[in-house]
Amino acid sequence: MANHRSDCSLWTRRDFIHVGLGAAAAVALGARAHAGRPRDAAATGSVAGLNDLARRMHGRFLRRGSPGYDDARKVWNLAYDRHPLAMARCADIDDVRRCVAFARRHSVPVAIRGGGHSYAGFGVADDALQVDLGAFTTVSVDRDRRVASVGGGVKIRNLLTATLAAGLVTPMGSCGAVGVAGLALAGGDTSGRGLFGTACDNIVGAQLVTADGEVLELRSHQNEDLFWAIRGGGGNFGVVTRLDFRLYPVLTSHNAQFDLGWSGIGGAMRIFGDLVRETPDEVRAKFEVSAQTGASASCGFFGDPAAAAAYLETWKAAFRRVEAKMSTSLPNPEGEVWATTSVAVEGAFLEGVSDGAADVLARAAVAGRGFGEILMGLSSGVAARVGMTDTAYPLRGTGLSTLLSSEWTRPEDRARAERWVAEYGDALRPFARRAYVNYIPPSPPERIREIYGVNYPRLAKIKARYDPANLFRSNQNILPEVRT
Ligand SMILES: Cc1cc2nc3c(=O)[nH]c(=O)nc-3n(C[C@H](O)[C@H](O)[C@H](O)COP(=O)(O)OP(=O)(O)OC[C@H]3O[C@@H](n4cnc5c(N)ncnc54)[C@H](O)[C@@H]3O)c2cc1C
């Protein structure tokens, strides 16, 4: 349905031969990122290093001044208009290692691009070297072991198409164009997490290129610290070139949707909050406010139709003022694809719908009518019961992962969108210290520390061990622990 961006086909190997004034200027800018080293020496070293890197790359390489640079640096969220030093479409793991070696040697930050769908635009960064994994598209499914292995640039639609062909599935997000790694490394707001845990809970192995250029295999008894950290800690620890996911049988979801419109949104939210306080693991649920059509609540029950019908009666009784729209569904690899846009977001992980939170969200809905969207997704069951310190992902316990978003097409509407998400995001903070890191704008260290809570000190230690210079900082950044 959507007109989302396709991968850039404008890159040619010839591009990397071109070294213009633009590139030299960009290198000088990149050198500014390195404190305490004479700028000219760094710049000279970087220019030579960049040429060398360009020559040695197996994949394509673009830098400022190259044809196609301006198109290639665009990410899904057009609000982020960033100018990287260069963009390397890595063809293989050696390319990734070359890029990391260049970045380390010249103190140039790395921006990792997987599926390009970061709300915060992290796949591209000013003056950074972009490591683009768009060519890491392999998906292989081992039906007997019930494991799918995917390259670091695979999108949800490609993963699910392959697993569904084997009659299997793993919890993933709702948009087929989103990158699997970008989603799963940060945790995952996924369907089916009540029964199977969320995306990061189903990572059983990974391959990662560290800031030192080492290629490490991660699993429960191999490089355990990193294996723990990447399950929730995002792209902070290196370039993930492969992820292995546990697979499950496909279940039908029996659904009821209640279109509630614009009246009594706060009350409807409280009813929703009561319904989801305790649910069977088979349940998935969300409450949405569309900018155009107002509120709706929906519930799905995976598996047995009779158990589903009995359970959904409680929802019908609770929302009896509107007629339920009933349906069944199976996992859909394409999902709901959003066209490339400009959008501002804020997030909050609510432990329930308190009167205060319902009041804030109801006011947000009314104030944002026509331009603001609210999404609250239930996280429960297995995903909620995983221990807080078992993985780095901090959103444990039953909760509602809440996303405020506001898109604009005309530049003059940007301020309104940003104001709305900021105002109501702030107003929600007293009810939710935590938030899903993929649903918030680029955030300061103190917010990231607060979100990871009890897991932050261990994350900071692991960061200090594997990325002491913080090369991987185009993300919700975990600062390397400062040793005293
Ligand atoms: C339309 C849309 C729908 C969405 N729906 C959902 C949803 O249903 N559930 C959900 O949980 N989230 C959802 N999200 C949020 C999504 O999980 C994040 O935006 C995520 O960052 C996208 O990953 P990406 O690889 O596409 O992004 P990119 O911009 O390519 O990457 C973002 C960052 O992720 C990290 N990263 C990505 N790949 C790698 C890698 N291979 N190795 C190391 N680090 C890596 C890096 O830090 C990178 O900078 C949605 C986003 C959009 C735009």
Arithmetic mean of pLDDT, 276-292: 98
- The pLDDT of residue 47: 82
401 CB less than 6 Å from ligand 1?
A: no
Arithmetic mean of pLDDT, 95-105: 97
Does residue 269 register a pLDDT over 70? yes
- The pLDDT of residue 6: 29
Does residue 443 register a pLDDT over 90? yes
- The pLDDT of residue 227: 98
Nearest Cα residue to atom 23 of ligand 1: 182
- The pLDDT of residue 337: 84
Rounded Cα gap, residues 72 and 60, in angstroms:
12
For the CA of 474, the nearest atom of ligand 1: 49
182 Cα: distance to centroid of ligand 1 (angstroms): 3
The topology under which CATH files domain 13-132 is: 3.30.43
122 CB less than 6 Å from ligand 1?
A: yes
At the top level of CATH, the class of 139-249+457-466 is alpha beta
Domain parsing of the chain, residue ranges: 13-132, 139-249+457-466, 253-330+341-439
Does residue 20 register a pLDDT over 70? no
| Contact between residue 450 and residue 440 where contact means Cβ atoms under 8 Å apart | no
39-56 vs 21-32: helix axis angle to the nearest 10?
Answer: 120
Rounded Cα gap, residues 143 and 160, in angstroms:
13
CATH architecture classification, 253-330+341-439: 3-Layer(aba) Sandwich (3.40)
189 CB less than 6 Å from ligand 1?
A: yes
- Judged by average pLDDT, the poorest of 14-23, 283-292, 422-431 is 14-23
173 Cα: distance to centroid of ligand 1 (angstroms): 10
Nearest Cα residue to atom 17 of ligand 1: 183
402 Cα: distance to centroid of ligand 1 (angstroms): 16
Burial of 14 (0-12, 13-18, 19+ CB in 10 A): exposed
